[in-house]
Structure 1
Amino acid sequence: MKHNLAARMAHWSAHHRKLAIFGWLALVLIVFVAGNAIGSKQISDVDQFSGESHRAEQALDRADMRPTREVVFLRNRALTVRAPEFRRAIAEVSARLATVPHVENVRSPLTGGGTVSPDGHAALVDFQIAGDSIEAADRVDPTLAATAAVQANHPDFEIEQFGAASAEKAINETINDDLAKAGELSLPITLIILVLTFGTLVAAGIPLLMGITAVIGALGVVAITSHLLPIDSNLSAVILLIGLAVGVDYSLFYLRREREERAAGREPEPALAAAAATSGRAVLISGMTVIAAMAGMFLSGDNTFMSFAEGTIIVVAIAMFASLTLLPALLSWLGDRVEKGRVPLLGRRRRAAGQSRFWSALVGRVMHRPGLSLVLAGGLLVLLAIPALGMKTVNSGVDDLPQDLPVIVTYDKVRAVFPVEGVVATVVVEADDVRSPAVTGAIARLAAAVDRSDAFLPGTQVTYSADGTVAQIDVPTVGNGTDTASVGALDEIRDEIVPATVGTVQGTSVNVTGDAASSVDFNNQLNGRLPLIFAFVFALAFLLMLVTFRSLVIPLTAIVLNLLSVGAAYGILVLIFQDGNLESLIGFSSNGGVTNWLPLFLFVVLFGLSMDYHVFILSRVRELHDRGMPTAEAVRQGISTTAGTVTSAAVVMVGVFAVFATLSFIDFKELGIGLAVAVLIDATIVRGVLVPASMKLLGDWNWYLPRWLEWLPRVGAERDTTPPPPPPRGTGGKMPVGA
């Protein structure tokens, strides 16, 4: 009897189970400890930008004009800066900051620096923290303590600190709190669902163990590989989300098949071999398909997406490898003890590989009227997808962060009194001598044009680099940095003001950066790459399924059906987050769009996860068809038999994803709801209605492969690996049908 790769891996693990189990646990521990010891390297501030804004940020970075700047905001509504009390408060702030390690260039209104509000009731003390943004975030605590001490000494004043380092520290703490909450909720929810699925604690604990070790191992590996490809600060959330979902899914598919084979009368070793040859093979193919989909993000040209691709590919590969090695070893070691820990009322006898009554009834009705079912279910998904045609993508800004964060409250105060400290468009001019009359005259004309426009606010500032090769012009704009007003101001300065002023000077290079610029440039770059990404993902998925199922029709229908579920998820995101429905229930305020990185990320993740279910179900259908069963009956029985497992896996995923909808940041809410809705749609409407309806209508065309493709390899067809199970003892030779 031939054995495919998954079966051979399971055979080795089952016969070397101590090495497989303890070797795996040791490996996970080693890479996690090593990753923590080495530390991760995050994407630099400059490389967070795209296009023109990236060129501008590079120029500022080369000229050392992007220091980590902080300000201390002082305000007294009764006194002005001329009052002795106000001056003493400013002096104390400056003196305390000057003694803090790593603090540089303290500037206050008392020494000719800093800034005073027009009414004289507020002032800013400026200072810098040495090092890049990551180092500055680690060094900001003593400055915050100094500011708090001055506030305690002057209770009649508002004395608060704001800047890049203090904001990053506060936001990262909130994100970490959110992720800790997600982890605390995800694990018990997953365990409860698995206990309900299996009815025993031991069987329920195995998939959870697989998911947790996959996440831990991936975090360690990513920390090491980040020194080659730096990572986004939010990657750990993505790894947790994807790793727990696929780790549980893969082991669930495998474990359920092994239990079915045991219940059908096989001895432990043949049951494990059959599970490996079928569900193990499906896990291998599913994992490769998910990895292929995730790899599409490498083509985006964006460092954040490339880091997401890096992390998701690693965690999926680890989960897949663990399911093919560690899981068979655990099952071989446990044997029938996997049934231990039976939960009262939930525990039930091991069930044969029968058909769920609910899914059997549903699939039977769908296949009785396949055309009507296809039209109704497909029409519903198309209706849900229609709002996606009006999707607008936005860059999440300050207004989308939790507004009760102290650092955001301070930012709002600073922005209200000092507009230049808020949203700005930064014009960066490079020349051999930016102080030459030609360049300075053009900058003056730019400032005059800005003053005449309603799109900009007063307070334009010009800063020159020490070597005189770069001029930085900060222009305060209306809007919040992501809205229509901000984008309109950007368009005006880029398309009209710059070309008519500094853009006319020979020998200069001019680029514009800022909040609105970074959002627009990101969208432009991504939109230009989307056709290539879609083509890459579709092509790889098509080829993998073509080889797996030796059919031209199966991969084409899979792609179409998966696009329907993705489109429906997009439409629901637009209805909720762009149009502002369910704001009070979910706890957010609409920013008029969907966060700009989410559509592509959702596409690759959902496409990969949808293929997971498709491969698992169709592997069973193909297995039955290869044994000689007619296509219609193979479809009915294959889907009815696997639908319960797919439903259990989907419920786990939906539970994990839905947790993210409870977090503070709108990006996490959109990610959680988008994934949860899409998986729910895919596991019910798509797998329960559209797949059986379309396959019934297509009939034997499902397996169509032209003669000129007969050379394609057979990657372990089921008929070569697993014979039909024997009838269990005590049934008179008849196969029992489970509930």
Structure 2
Amino acid sequence: MFYRLGKFATRHRWLIVGLWILAAVIALPFAPRASQVLQSGGFESPDSESQKAIDTLVQKLHVNETIVQVIFTSDRYTVADPQFSQQSEQALARIRTWSEVAQVTSYLDNPRQVSQDQHAAYVNIQMKADANVAAKLLPELEQRLQKVPDLQMKVGGGPVFYEDIQRVSENDLRRAELLAFPFAIIALLLVFRSVIAAVLPALVGGFAVVVSLALIFGLGQLTPLSIFVLNITTLFGLGLGVDYSLFMVSRFREELAHGRSIDEAIAITVATAGRAVTSSGLTVSIGLFGLTFFHINMLHSVGMGGILVVVLAVVAAITLLPAMLSILGLRVNALPVRLPRFGRRPAVVNTELDPHHGYWYRLSQFVMRYPLRVFFPVLLLLLSFGAPFLGVRFSAPDASILPASVPSRAAYDLLVQRFNQRETTPILMAVQTKGNALTPDNIKNLYYYVRRIEADPRVERVDSIVSADPRFTLEQYQLLYTHPELIADPYLGAFLKSSVSGNTLFVQVISKHGMVDPDSQALVQTIRNTDPGNGISVLVDGGTAGNIDYVSSLYTDFPIAILIVSITTYIVLLLLFRSLLLPLKAIIMNTLSILASYGALVLIFQDGFLHQILGFTPLGFVEASSPILLFCSLFGLSMDYEVFLLSRIQEAFWQTGDNRRAVALGLQRSGGIITSAAVIVIVVSACFATADMILVKALGIGMALAVIIDATLVRGLLVPATMRLLGDWNWWLPFLGVQRHPPALAKYMTPDDGATDYTATSSTDMDVHVGGKR
């Protein structure tokens, strides 16, 4: 099939190139607009208790969580000075009359919105629109916010956070693209030493990215997609698009060196390297497919976008690239670049090199001479790399994932440093009673329930209609709420109106500990797990509860994703290698390199190792989605290299029937191309590690480190050691035994002469007989 596809590409080369150019021309107006249809949120699970709690409060009490905070600070005045209040009110004058604002709660209304040093205070501006829409209204809000001479203002809150995520993500993407393209081309020049050959893979990767972004723009019109789709699309589009083209161009150049005609060289290239690329795309897509099982929209949409760009990268590599190679022909080697050679020959094209004297052959022979001495130290080293993950602390993303220079992060830091953070992150409770909440019986039940919560040593206080004034007794509350319309105290009347509707009450619990403190998390779990009794039901929301639910939702779905990805990959590799143990070994090898990158996540982002060099503030935790993104991204990518290596070893085993010799020959024939492909992915991933957004930075660093470990310690040492220890069991399948010469593939086999490297560029390449020629 792939051979016929190669022939088709040569016959219709101009048509194929024309169609891709047309697709790119159509895509160009839409690709830059992809961010416009993407959403900055998507970290909530619709099935979580915290989401149900806020849905209840919004529906019953019209509580709106879309709040913009304006923080006023002054070195000259304290909050008690008249100038402070006069100027703050002057600044807010046009905000109060704005039709998009539902309510403005000043520090004059709530004294707890004053800083501990009395030189700062914040105002909550409740917007009518949701956070994503409110983010688009921020320019007008800032325009209405009048500057005053003696107060400094910082604007923060959810809408500002979402706007900053959007802007920082787009800036990160532009920076990564500007860095990735030139560095990828430099790497390709070192491999190919030809300008034309080096530009082709970058061109194919660019086509895949542009068309993918345009399709994401269309998909975003139909379903909610996260802004992080942008980064994963470019990362995989460039990394894999260039990688796949590298295999194809390398194979094509080698076939030309063997004296093939251009048409024949392209057909064999697609039949061998094209088959490898397609298998690789399948394994990567399986890994990304695991993300679509999560209820968190950010992961779900990143999985969809990732699969889309991988499919396009594969299609471009097996259609557009062969068509362009057919047009270029021998000119693929044009514009040679004179660069210093490192070693005797380039790592990719080594057909004239005796495999028995190559670096990878010698390395594998050394490893297989002492397999146990290599296996255990390398295994212990990889496990030690992953050991820090045992101390991981997960948390949901907040403004700390953004650089300190953006408005929402500056406002967040100011709140943390100068205000009582416990006041700004209360535990929110949607409490529902049987019948009207203000009946004497319900007031009694609520009174005693709130007292039980207040008795918890972790609780600072509870804000509710039955604890509004500590001087009131139960009987006084019951009497007061018998005729709520007669309440004379304006504060209590406003509080009652905003806290009760029918059978639903809004209660806030202030913890003595910070939002992510284990004691606050334990307090939330205690409230959730304690039955209020008397027909009262409770749903808990707030920063701490949302954090718990976010992590719980992710790691409830994660084992399912791991199981599905692993089983699917195992079946695909079982069919590909016809072995019971090789797929299992491949999955274990992948897991080891991924665990090593997990350890790096903890050391770098939780503990702050190298944070000054990498340019970020340590979080003190690992953002909970990062390990999942890394697993699903790296599982397929690492399996990609495993497939390249094992396929070449399998070829050599079918040729020689000798497991030890097959491992050495397979590693020699694939080592160079795997190293070159890994370098490309490392370069592209490292460019994304320059991102200001910590989520993207973590993905870039994690992928770069995992690929480095995978292409060196795992592929160079651990794989040959394990294959030497397993021996012929590598190739055993029940009922078929050890297959040395599968009859169905006999016509593709060429006897190994012990000296010539027949297929030096693609890991799943087979020697193909076409028209009587090898």
TM-score (norm. length: structure 2): 0.83
CA-atom RMSD, angstroms?
3.5
Distance in 1 (CA, whole Å) between partners of 2:333 and 2:120 is: 70
Name the residue aligned to 2:477: none
Alignment partner of 1:340 is 2:334:
yes
**Counterpart in 1 of 2:424?**
422
Aligned counterpart for 2:669 among listed residues 637, 641, 644? 641
Residue number in structure 1 paired with 2:22: 26
Matched residue, 2:578: 550
Q: Would the aligned equivalents of 1:354 and 1:737 in 2 still touch at CA under 8 Å?
A: no
With over 3 angstroms needed to count, the CA separation of the structure-2 counterparts of 1:402 and 1:440, relative to structure 1, is: farther
Is 2:369 the counterpart of 1:387?
A: no
Using the TM superposition, give the Cα deviation of residue 99 of structure 1 relative to its aligned residue in structure 2, in angstroms.
Answer: 5.0
**Aligned AA (1:471):** L
Q: Structure 1: which amino acid aligns with 2:159?
A: A
- The answer to whether the aligner puts 1:6 opposite 2:9 as a matched pair is no
CA distance in 2, matches of 1:625, 1:485: 59
- Residue-by-residue CA offset, 1:70-98 (whole Å, 9 max, x unaligned): 23333446546675534432332332214
5+ residue gaps, structure 1: 728-732
Give the structure 1 partner of residue 39 of structure 2: 42
Residue 577 of structure 1 aligns with which residue? 605
CA deviations 1:431-485 (Å, max 9, x no partner) are 5544444555555555555555553456836764785354332334355533324
Structure 1: distance between partners of 2:422 and 2:298: 28
**3-state DSSP of counterpart to 2:37:** coil
2:533 is aligned to 504
Q: Which residue of 1 aligns with 2:281?
A: 287
Aligned partner of residue 504 in structure 1, secondary structure: coil
Q: Is the 8 A contact 2:205 2:238 kept in 1?
A: yes
Given residue 269 of structure 1, which amino acid in structure 2 is its aligned partner? D
In structure 2, distance between residues paired with 1:474 and 1:662: 40
Give SS of 1:510's match.
strand
Q: 1:161 to 1:380 in 2, by over 3 A?
A: closer
The residue aligned with 2:626 is 598
Counterpart selection for 2:520 from 486, 495, 520: 486
What corresponds to 2:88 in structure 1? 90
**Residue type of the alignment partner of 2:125:** F
* Residues 539-570 of structure 1, C-alpha deviations (whole Å, 9 max, x = no match): 11111111112222221221121122122222
1:690–1:309 distance in 2 versus 1, CA, 3 Å: same
Select which of 670, 693, 701 maps to 2:721: 693
In the alignment, does 2:282 pair up with 1:308?
Answer: no
1:161 is paired with a residue of what secondary structure? strand
- Asked if the contact 2:360/2:664 (under 8 Å) is kept, the reply is no
Question: Structure 2, unaligned stretches of length 5 or more?
Answer: 466-494, 762-774
Given residue 481 of structure 1, which amino acid in structure 2 is its aligned partner? M
Distance 1:48 1:28 in 2: 36
In the alignment, is residue 652 of structure 1 matched against residue 680 of structure 2? yes
Shift of 1:45: 6.3
Assess, with a 3 A threshold, how the Cα gap between structure 1 residues 653 and 461 changes in structure 2: closer, same or farther: farther
- Structure 1 residue 60, shift from structure 2 partner: 3.0
The residue that corresponds to 1:730 in the other structure is none
The SS at the match of 1:662 is coil
Matched with 2:565 is 537
Deviation digits for residues 224-269 of structure 1, max 9, x if unmatched?
Answer: 2334542222221122222221111111122212212222332222
Per-residue deviation, 1:317: 0.9
Q: Could you tell which deviates more after superposition, 718-727 or 482-491?
A: 718-727
* Aligned-partner residue type, residue 290 of structure 1: V
Is 1:206 the equivalent of 2:200? yes
Q: For residues 3-26 of structure 1, give each alpha carbon's deviation from its aligned partner in whole angstroms, at most 9, with x where no partner exists.
A: xx3323222122111121121232
Output the CA distance in 1 between the equivalents of 2:727 and 2:331: 42
Structure 2 distance, partners of 1:71, 1:418, is 15
User: Equivalent of 2:183, from 189, 192, 196?
Assistant: 189
Could you tell me which residue of structure 1 aligns to residue 551 of structure 2?
523
Matched, 1:367 2:361: no
Percent identical residues = 32
- CA shift at 1:364, angstroms? 2.7
> CA–CA distance in 2 between the matches of 1:482 and 1:186?
36
Alpha carbons of 1:354 and 1:689: their partners in 2 closer, same or farther (altered >3 Å)? farther
Q: How does 1:124-163 map to 2 (within 5 A)?
A: 124-147=122-145, 150-151=146-147, 154-163=148-157
Any conservation in 1 of the 2:43–2:297 contact (CA below 8 Å)? no
Contact 1:562 1:611 (C-alpha < 8 Å) held by counterparts: yes
CA distance in 1, matches of 2:518, 2:527: 14
- Tell me the distance in 2 between the aligned counterparts of 1:669 and 1:417: 30
Contact residue 499 and residue 507 of structure 2 kept, 8 A: no
3-state SS of paired residue (2:187)? helix
Q: Distance in 2 between matches of 1:41 and 1:734?
A: 53
1:136-285 matches, cutoff 5 A: 136-147=134-145, 150-151=146-147, 154-285=148-279
Structure 1 residue 649, shift from structure 2 partner: 0.9
Helix, strand or coil at the partner of 1:657: helix
More moved, 369-378 vs 255-264: 369-378
Rounded to whole Å, the distance in 2 between the matches of 1:737 and 1:615 is 15
Q: 1:113 to 1:567 in 2, by over 3 A?
A: closer
SS of 2:733's partner is: coil
Contact 2:427/2:510, CA 8 A, preserved across alignment = yes
CA drift at 1:417: 3.7
Q: In 2 relative to 1, CA 314–157 (structure 1 residues): closer, same or farther, beyond 3 Å?
A: same
CA positional deviation for 1:718? 6.4
Q: How many residues align?
A: 716
Residues 157 and 21 (structure 1), Cα distance of their counterparts in 2 relative to 1, 3 Å cut:
same
Cα offset, 1:331, TM superposition: 1.1
| Whole-angstrom distance in 2 between the partners of 1:57 and 1:296 | 29
Q: CA deviation at 1:156?
A: 1.6
By how many angstroms is 1:683 displaced?
A: 0.8
Q: 1:80 touches 1:86 (CA, 8 Å); kept in 2? A: yes
| 1:53 maps to 2:50 | yes
C-alpha deviations, 1:510-555, integer Å up to 9, x for none?
Answer: 1111222122122223333333222211111111111112222221
Q: Letter of the aligned partner of 1:309 in structure 2?
A: G
Matches within 5 A, 1:448-487: 448=451, 453=456, 455-457=458-460, 460=463, 464=498, 468-487=502-521
Deviation at 1:613, TM superposition (A): 0.8
Deviations along 1:145-169, one digit per CA (max 9) or x if unpaired, are: 232xx33xx3222333332222322
